Structure 1
Amino acid sequence: MADTDYNLPTMRPQTIDERQHPEKYDVAIVGAGPAGLTLAVVLGRLGICTAVFDERPSRTLVGRADGIQPKTIETLQMLGLADKLLRDGVKVYDICMWRGSATSSTRRISRQVHYPASIVDLLHPYILLCHQGTIESVLIRDLCASGLRINRDHRFTNFDHGAGENSSALVVSLKTTPEDDVKHVSADYLVGCDGARSLVRQHIPGTHAIAKPQESYWGVLDGVLDTDFPDIWSKTVVFSEEHGSVLIIPRERNLTRIYIEMKSSHSVKNVDQTFVMKQAQLVLAPYRVQWRSVEWFGNYQVAQRVAARFSDPSLCAFIAGDASHTHSPKAAQGMNTSMHDSWNLGWKLNLSVRGFAKPALLESYEVERMKVAHDLINFDFEHANEIAGGNIERLADNFRANTRFIAGAGVEYAESIINHGYNQTGGFAKPGCTLPPSKATRYIDANPVDVQLDVPMLGQFRVYVVVPDLLGSDQKKFLCDLSDTVESELSFLTRLSRAASESYRRKPRPLRPIDVFSCLERYRVFSELFTFCLLTSTPKEDFELASLPSLFFTSPWTVYLDDVPHLDTKGLRCIPKWLGGLEHGEVAIVNVRPDGYVGSIKKWDVSRQDVGEAAAHWLDEYYDSFLDVPDGGRSEATSEVEPLDDKKCREL
């Protein structure tokens, strides 16, 4: 069904306008599902010249993935894309488990909160359900605003390194359908987001799949039900000793999704929607289950696999999403994990295209996301076995043990060159993890805000300088020395920021009309790469912005007061929640990566000599470990594109 708000009809798009879309790109993306679109959204906003190719004639119109986990909702909020989905989707807060047998009727065994506050701290403690096509349409509309479009009916065939002047770039070959014409484009980087049977993956050496022995076979049906089953608006698992199990997922527009797992591959090819309906009726009996309408039916096989590599040895070609890992749909992880693959890779590619990234930064993509993929497969293997086994108690225990991971809050990266400072943590903010949700008051306009979401996504690192008491002489000296040293001519951050200013002058972020109210210039005062934030417990009436050193008073929109614990999810102030509290005279700095993950944390005692300068040098050392001041950007591709109007956007 077409998305009526965006009015995106099914039609074949026009061919590329060669005058506006050159054949030389910074990044070529194959696949326009959630992973490919998320990557294109990030790169498009950051001014990276990007091409998206997809062999399908249109976006997903019905079915496929449907569950958005809490941390993915926050990611979409960071991109300013969550409002429509939060408005139109179904929020599911609980999970119910039922059992029936030949000797006892189907009955509810348990009803639980899906994400208990005692286990996981979330801004959105629910699953948001809406079908993949709606999510794709939101992402496509954002691409239009950035001047990008999807090249439909383009099938990837191969890639190779160029020759002569373009020897550092890749030549990507595609066939356009139905004409079957061969098309060649040049790109510095190629990313395959083209699904479980990825053709890009097949052209990267050593990407053979590492598989778990279990494979599952599924029938799935989306439709409007006529039923007296009482838990139709909860996520529900029903076990029948005679007939197997059913997973029920409530959906938008009064739809319900029914999953039926087959026991072998022999039957799945012959499964049709009538079979799924009858099986659901048998499992849910004695409750009445009829379908008023059916929107989508699918049957498919899912294997639990992880690719052995997520990139080629030259770090020019990558895979993401289902191209790099596949698993069962039982815990609503596939689309979420895929989108976060792209979230992780996008900001790193931006810095690499601009020449700011040392090789270790791009190498970290495979290291970080492969860990997550294996963590997911291990969880999914256990979770799928518990569902198939029909032991409700063991399934509930498995779910509780993995609640943080399922929600996304427990998706953590190991210590590395970009994640360190573990011995400095006393609170819930830890390197390799996302910032916990916290409330604070923005000084300049007295608005209480979610600190972790307040700064818009501009591809910047956020540097939170935490000084509980701004009135002490040692604290004042710390801030002044930190500011002076960071802004000095010798500072690595200053030299890098000057290079970034030139890079963004040559390759600017697009001028997007939809960003006019975000006032993004507020966050680029010091640098295109860094936003400095000040977090303090000092009452507002005790200091003025003008009394702060220049690093902070020139960025007034990122000065925060830690004074609204009653608004927090746990009733805590931000500083003790993040850092476990600071001793008298202690200050801290929290570096946050562009994807919202904590990069590093360190505390200092301000009574010690030259501590402000030491903190500035620590910042230089941290960023110098994976960033560089370039002589010039790697790519010559232009990113000067105009946002697409609504008519052109609808063609996508």
Structure 2
Amino acid sequence: MQLSNETNPKQTSVDVLIIGAGPSGLMLWTCGFERTADYFELILDSLGIGQDVWREANHMLEIRFWVSVVLLIRSQVEAIAYPDQNPDQDGKLYRSDRIVDTIPGLSCFQQATLHQARIEDHLLGYIWKHSNISVERGIMPESLSIDKQKSEDADEYAISIVLRHLVPEAIEEPVARGSADSRTETVHAKYLVGCDGAHSWTRRQIGSIMEGEQTDFVWGVLDIIPITDFPDIRYRCAIHSATGSLMVIPREDGYLDRFKTTPGTLVASARNTLAPYTLSYKHCHWWTAYRIGQRVGSKFSKENRVFLAGDAVHTHSPKAGQGMNISMHDTYNLGWKLARVIKGWASPDLLKIRDTERHRIAKGLIEFDQRFSRLFSGRPTKDIMDTTGVDLRTFKAVFEKGNLFASGCAVEYPASLIVAKLDNVPEEKDLAYDKMATIGRTSGSFTSITGKQGLASKVPIGMRMPSYKELLPSTGVWRLLVFAGDIRDQAQFLRYQKLGAALDATDPFLQRYTVRGGATWPQRLVEVLTIHSAPRVETELRQFPEVFHPFSEEYGWDYNKIFVDDDTYHEGPGRAYEDYGINKLTGCVIIVRPDQYVSWVGDLEDVTSMEQFLSAFMKDQNVKAR
């Protein structure tokens, strides 16, 4: 097949080029660019789908436990138990235990089991609703170059990538490399994000090598409508037998179920494992078989301009939705950082932190997967003398211990420019992390500011702000959460007033991080919210300093900035101070990142520390305006 002879290939300039429109690629747009980047392009290589995206939306997806609240509302969780089916001494299958699938009280949102295609459909629906997107089939990347000199200037288009737009006939060919009618396009981008899967083209271009192991376990997957008398078919369950292992994951809407089996003919193997129960089907949506590979990329980025996310940089067995969840979190973590740098609101040093944060998570994912996949794939023990089989009590203990990690709520980021705490490198020496951390320190991406963890003992710095998402929609802003304490106390109210005066001074640091333009309400890059502990009936809005509830000539007072931790009339007690480990009289201040992770904790008087912390990575918008 011959390539076309183009004399004037199309030239395009974009802020960010995303290769791959799976969950991680779609999440990157949803959480990072909808209110920030002026133009970016999204292409999907693996399925031949390409999209050009022009940003026009003004509403941000509110991230709820990795996915939008819309997904959770529309999805019915059919089962929360995890029955463990195993053979007895006579080889007959029996239910050995039932445990809760998720940790009660961990989140105010319930776990949902959703097929990847459905999540992609929801994300695409959201993007289409808030932008002008046309889906275009047949785009493949051909070459990538990075201008290192231009990489030093954040405003420069340091990346050049050649894309080939294929004709429909070429898409169907086993090796689609072009045709006489295909055309090329050269895209000049400031940043490139590779979300292009386990066989990532982007990863190969930057020389990142997948390091790890390929196990001897072979898994098969069936996506079918099961016809069976197995009693726990609508539960997520693990089944161990002498003939193999089986996991049942109930699909939404009660129709498709996925089975992961050991080698052999998939249906026959599943029947043997389920015996004496029967299994058949009329409809098979999809199936495959493969060996489990557990690997992490040797590097996650290049020149602070090209980044990898999702399966492009970590691969593992397909259990518990971890690959998709962590992939979306990869780009959620990156998206808000990219958005602020592109808009000129933050230093490019912010992007260097991403590698140290996500490498540890990827490494933890592989370690979790190695433990769990070996236990799941092995046969059960025959008796107490059997040392090669899987002990069911051990399996249950590992599952329960891994539940917190699998929930995503155990993510803890290390000390950095945006995490003000003492460094907490893992006890086991992580050479890759240590190398990244060293680079971070020498590049200035670590902070010398340390927060006062004791003031909010149950809100660890570097971890997500718990159960506070109703007030923290993902709009890309930082939050200054002022826990003002009991403002009925005169001395405490005076402390709160002094903080307000400092924030409203002639040259307050908050004004430096406010974008001014034609909008009635200036766009503040740091939002201030007050949560006090005095009874609501004993306070009046007008007694609070104006800086905490600003006034607009067009809209009046802002009533969505001051809240109270008090008993509610319809939803029980608040208990925020108690649950966060904060003194109800003296309170504290917490700085929360745009991705809802805690960055800094201090006293109401620690204005200088707040200012020094934020100024280390945020850009003064007054200087930019001049």
Q: TM-score, normalised by structure 2?
A: 0.80
Aligned equivalent of 1:532: 528
Q: How far does residue 216 in structure 1 lie from its aligned partner after superposition? A: 4.1
Aligned equivalent of 1:136: 120
Aligned equivalent of 2:601: 601
**In structure 1, C-alpha distance between the alignment counterparts of 2:63 and 2:236, rounded to whole Å:** 18
Say if 1:568 and 1:381 are closer, same or farther in 2 by CA, change over 3 A.
farther
**In structure 1, C-alpha distance between the alignment counterparts of 2:156 and 2:591, rounded to whole Å:** 37
Q: How far does residue 189 in structure 1 lie from its aligned partner after superposition? A: 0.5
**Conserved 8 A contact 1:218-1:259:** no
2:347 is aligned with what amino acid? K
Q: Deviations 1:555-608 (Å, cap 9, x if unpaired)? A: 421211111389889x76001211x13164x2201111111111111135xxxx
Say if 1:122 and 1:624 are closer, same or farther in 2 by CA, change over 3 A.
same
Q: Deviations 1:237-292 (Å, cap 9, x if unpaired)? A: 11111x110011111232343333445xxxxxxx6xxx211111110011121113
Aligned equivalent of 2:79: 92
User: Residues 31-180 of structure 1: matches in 2 within 5 Å?
Assistant: 31-48=20-37, 49-55=39-45, 56-57=47-48, 73-76=64-67, 81-100=68-87, 103-117=90-104, 121-126=106-111, 128-149=112-133, 150-161=135-146, 168-178=157-167, 179-180=181-182
Local SS of the residue matching 2:587: strand
Say if 1:216 and 1:194 are closer, same or farther in 2 by CA, change over 3 A.
farther
**In structure 1, C-alpha distance between the alignment counterparts of 2:317 and 2:63, rounded to whole Å:** 19
**In structure 2, C-alpha distance between the alignment counterparts of 1:215 and 1:146, rounded to whole Å:** 46
User: Residues 315-334 of structure 1: matches in 2 within 5 Å?
Assistant: 315-334=304-323
Q: How far does residue 319 in structure 1 lie from its aligned partner after superposition? A: 0.6
User: Residues 443-462 of structure 1: matches in 2 within 5 Å?
Assistant: 451-462=468-479
Q: Deviations 1:412-444 (Å, cap 9, x if unpaired)? A: 11222211226335432111111112xxxxxxx
Q: How far does residue 404 in structure 1 lie from its aligned partner after superposition? A: 1.1
**In structure 1, C-alpha distance between the alignment counterparts of 2:582 and 2:503, rounded to whole Å:** 26
Q: How far does residue 38 in structure 1 lie from its aligned partner after superposition? A: 0.4
Q: CA RMSD in A?
A: 2.7
**In structure 2, C-alpha distance between the alignment counterparts of 1:587 and 1:368, rounded to whole Å:** 29
1:342 to 331, 350, 353: 331
Is the aligned partner of 1:551 residue 2:547? yes
**Conserved 8 A contact 1:460-1:593:** yes
Is the aligned partner of 1:624 residue 2:609? no
2:197 to 187, 192, 195: 195
1:282 to 257, 272, 280: 272
Local SS of the residue matching 2:301: coil
Say if 1:170 and 1:567 are closer, same or farther in 2 by CA, change over 3 A.
farther
Aligned equivalent of 1:397: 397
Aligned equivalent of 1:221: 222
Aligned equivalent of 2:464: 434
Is the aligned partner of 1:564 residue 2:594? no
Aligned equivalent of 2:232: 231
Q: How far does residue 102 in structure 1 lie from its aligned partner after superposition? A: 8.1
Q: How far does residue 105 in structure 1 lie from its aligned partner after superposition? A: 0.8
**In structure 1, C-alpha distance between the alignment counterparts of 2:94 and 2:609, rounded to whole Å:** 60
Consecutive unaligned residues of structure 1, counting only runs of 5 or more, are: 1-20, 60-70, 264-270, 438-450, 509-520, 605-610, 634-652
**Conserved 8 A contact 2:78-2:235:** no
**Conserved 8 A contact 1:43-1:50:** no
**Conserved 8 A contact 2:316-2:323:** yes
Local SS of the residue matching 1:343: helix
Q: TM-score, normalised by structure 1?
A: 0.77
Aligned equivalent of 1:63: none
**In structure 2, C-alpha distance between the alignment counterparts of 1:373 and 1:83, rounded to whole Å:** 27
Larger RCO (alpha carbons 8 Å, 6+ apart)? 1
Consecutive unaligned residues of structure 2, counting only runs of 5 or more, are: 1-9, 51-61, 168-180, 381-389, 421-450, 551-557
2:508 to 482, 491, 497: 491
**In structure 2, C-alpha distance between the alignment counterparts of 1:331 and 1:72, rounded to whole Å:** 20
Aligned equivalent of 1:372: 361
Of residues 595-604 and 532-541 in structure 1, the stretch that sits farther from structure 2 once superposed is 595-604
**In structure 1, C-alpha distance between the alignment counterparts of 2:495 and 2:132, rounded to whole Å:** 45
**In structure 2, C-alpha distance between the alignment counterparts of 1:564 and 1:326, rounded to whole Å:** 46
Say if 1:219 and 1:167 are closer, same or farther in 2 by CA, change over 3 A.
same
Q: How far does residue 484 in structure 1 lie from its aligned partner after superposition? A: 2.4
**Conserved 8 A contact 2:11-2:186:** no
Aligned equivalent of 1:468: 485
User: Residues 10-49 of structure 1: matches in 2 within 5 Å?
Assistant: 23-48=12-37, 49=39
Say if 1:568 and 1:627 are closer, same or farther in 2 by CA, change over 3 A.
farther
2:516 to 487, 501, 515: 501
1:240 is aligned with what amino acid? S
Q: Deviations 1:69-110 (Å, cap 9, x if unpaired)? A: xx974343xxxx332453244343111111126832111100
**In structure 2, C-alpha distance between the alignment counterparts of 1:54 and 1:197, rounded to whole Å:** 13
**Conserved 8 A contact 1:90-1:130:** no
Identity among equivalent pairs (%): 27
Q: How far does residue 221 in structure 1 lie from its aligned partner after superposition? A: 1.0
**Conserved 8 A contact 1:28-1:51:** yes
Q: Deviations 1:509-556 (Å, cap 9, x if unpaired)? A: xxxxxxxxxxxx9xxx56431211110111122121111111212242
Say if 1:556 and 1:158 are closer, same or farther in 2 by CA, change over 3 A.
same
**Conserved 8 A contact 1:422-1:430:** no
Of residues 156-165 and 470-479 in structure 1, the stretch that sits farther from structure 2 once superposed is 156-165
- Alignment coverage as a number of residue pairs: 536
Local SS of the residue matching 1:173: strand
**In structure 2, C-alpha distance between the alignment counterparts of 1:260 and 1:491, rounded to whole Å:** 58
Local SS of the residue matching 1:551: helix
Local SS of the residue matching 1:260: strand
Say if 1:22 and 1:45 are closer, same or farther in 2 by CA, change over 3 A.
farther
Q: Deviations 1:24-66 (Å, cap 9, x if unpaired)? A: 211110000000000011233223122101122459xxxxxxx
**In structure 2, C-alpha distance between the alignment counterparts of 1:404 and 1:422, rounded to whole Å:** 26
Aligned equivalent of 1:258: 258
Of residues 595-604 and 472-481 in structure 1, the stretch that sits farther from structure 2 once superposed is 472-481
Local SS of the residue matching 2:98: strand
**Conserved 8 A contact 2:513-2:526:** no
Q: How far does residue 23 in structure 1 lie from its aligned partner after superposition? A: 2.2
**In structure 1, C-alpha distance between the alignment counterparts of 2:570 and 2:309, rounded to whole Å:** 37
Q: How far does residue 632 in structure 1 lie from its aligned partner after superposition? A: 5.2
1:295 is aligned with what amino acid? H
Q: How far does residue 322 in structure 1 lie from its aligned partner after superposition? A: 0.6
**In structure 2, C-alpha distance between the alignment counterparts of 1:455 and 1:539, rounded to whole Å:** 23
2:529 is aligned with what amino acid? C
**Conserved 8 A contact 2:577-2:584:** no
Local SS of the residue matching 1:601: strand
**In structure 1, C-alpha distance between the alignment counterparts of 2:144 and 2:510, rounded to whole Å:** 37
Q: How far does residue 355 in structure 1 lie from its aligned partner after superposition? A: 1.9
User: Residues 376-391 of structure 1: matches in 2 within 5 Å?
Assistant: 376-389=365-378, 390=380, 391=390
